[in-house]
Amino acid sequence: MLSPWTLIAIIVSLYYLKTYQEIVFPVVNAYAGDIFRRKAYREYKTNAKRLIAKGLAKYNGPISLLVPPWVVAALQHHWGDSDSWHQISWERDTTGIISWAAASVFVGPGKASDPEWQMLSQAYVRELFSAVSELHTWRPSLRSVVQWFLPHTSACQALARKARVMIDEVVERRAEESHLAQRQGRKARRYNDVLSWTSHMPSNKLHLGDIQLALAVAALFTTSEALRQTLTDLAEHPELVAPLRREIEELISRHGLCQAALQKMDMLDSLMKESQRQTPGLAIRDTTLPDETLIPRGSHIMVDSSDMWNPEVHDYPDVYDGYRFVKQRHAGDKASQFVQASREHNTFGGGRHICRGRFFANAELKICLAHILLDYVVRLKEGYCSKPMSSGVYDGVDSAAELEVRRRSGSECCPFYAFLHCSPTETPFGTFRSIEIEMVFS
């Protein structure tokens, strides 16, 4: 029989583990002798940026992004090649473009064009947001039980199981390729994608399929929403199309589609940030802010974004001005680029927790929009007036927009890839070209 002191020790230990347990994350910075991983946790919490930089250093140079060929393939698949006006499926045919482009970097080119993977990852994102709303209707103490019976949470679990199987197949195939190359005395193919990076993480307790789904959740919804808002604004302001095309054609013909060209697309950058300006939680524990303000557990909190429409910050804030941030940048405003955040423009957050994926999203959006602008024409269906979708105090992108597109004819433009000078890449729609972009983390 346990003594009273032993029983007390067990209860105290369980309480400590429940209350003070560290947040679980894959250990990518293991140290010899660090049995309880305290040093690893401390380094992650205080200097995660250095871990990313150190991890990328072994790849010696820029990261090859196979985004452009998959944008081409995705647009041909979802928007088609017809030079006659036709309406696209607003959500499916915009999210699909971002999903194909992101998958080429996340899971690799082999899976980027896999219809089954595309359907699975996009379905998981939709089901997850529905599952969150579903669980919020239940008391926190019951959620771990009811999750097994609710329709959307059950769907998420089924999709996650399927994703793990599909990713395991990719990893096993790559391992077989590597072993075969070693036996034949050849250098094994090096995959430069997130799946490859995460598969080499030491002590990774997360399944690689789960990581891929988490990346899809982080990338698909927000980036596709940004694309939809920008397309809507382009359709409503056709006078901006010609100067945007001139900028893109000039820069790509001079530099090719590279980081330098993307960085110099000031007009396109301004357009994206202006569209972002148009459409800009709950505390889970007691939190004390630096000024000693206490936010009690369960409090609903919001971040003030009203400066985006403040006439003291922006001239004519209710008017859409695609040149707004170009003018601010030329006037010396260092926070006028799309990827930069400030107190007056906090869409990406700020401080230590600012969105780390904003640089990739910036490159991805610019490549998508550059291709669309040079090879397609967009317009809203005649008589349709786009309106933001309101949900409580939030305004989102019009979820029912009726957008029509057509392919520009040969007499109207030079094909987008006539400007590129890069290595060819095979896709289901033919051979296209990839580029190298140096990703910056700051």
Tell whether 355 is in a known binding site: yes
Q: Which two tokens stand for residue 95?
A: 């999210």
CB 408 within 8 A of CB 83: yes
Residues 70 and 373: their CA atoms lie apart, in Å, by 16
Q: Which residues of 119-143 are buried (b: 16+ CB within 10 A; e: fewer)?
A: ebbbebbbbbebbeebbeeeeeeee
Q: Which residue has the tokens 């395991």?
A: 168
Q: Which residue has the tokens 């990713």?
A: 167
Question: Count of CB atoms within 10 A of residue 29's CB?
Answer: 21
Dihedral in degrees, nearest 10, Cα atoms 251, 255, 256, 258: -100
Residues 180 and 199: their CA atoms lie apart, in Å, by 19
Nearest Cα neighbor of 327 from 369, 267, 275 is 267
| Residues of the binding site | 355
| Residues of the binding site for heme | 355
